[in-house]
Amino acid sequence: MNDDILRAPFTDDEVRILDVWQKNDYLHPYTCCDSEPMKATTDGLKCDKCGRLQEWVHDFSLRESAAEYNPSKNRNLGDAIYTTDDFKNKEENNE
């Protein structure tokens, strides 16, 4: 499992990919208060409720192929670990 940490500032392209990750129902988003998905910015992930700024992400979260994962399109998740249980079940059924 590749679990390298990447730190802000992020490029506009990285923010775009991270935003895709945060909104992908098949993946587990980075969350803060009340499991609210955090907002992707160049400074890091921001919580709109408490203002907390998380300045790091797992490297796979900035990988477009992982962020756009969709089992019906056979996207390759790579070695991402932030997945929902629902997604894990889908993956097992596909194999």
User: Which residues of the chain form contacts with Zn ion (CB under 5 A)?
Assistant: 32-33, 47, 49-50, 52
- List % helix, strand, coil for the chain (3-state, nearest 5): 40, 20, 45
Supply the minimum distance, in Å, between the C-beta of residue 94 and Zn ion. Answer: 34
Torsion over CA: 84, 87, 93, 95 (sign)? negative
Place of tokens 């803060």: 32
Supply the minimum distance, in Å, between the C-beta of residue 22 and Zn ion. Answer: 14
Closer by beta carbon to Zn ion, 3 or else 48: 48
Supply the minimum distance, in Å, between the C-beta of residue 5 and Zn ion. Answer: 20
Question: Does residue 71 contact residue 26 with C-beta atoms inside 8 Å?
Answer: yes
Closer by beta carbon to Zn ion, 47 or else 77: 47
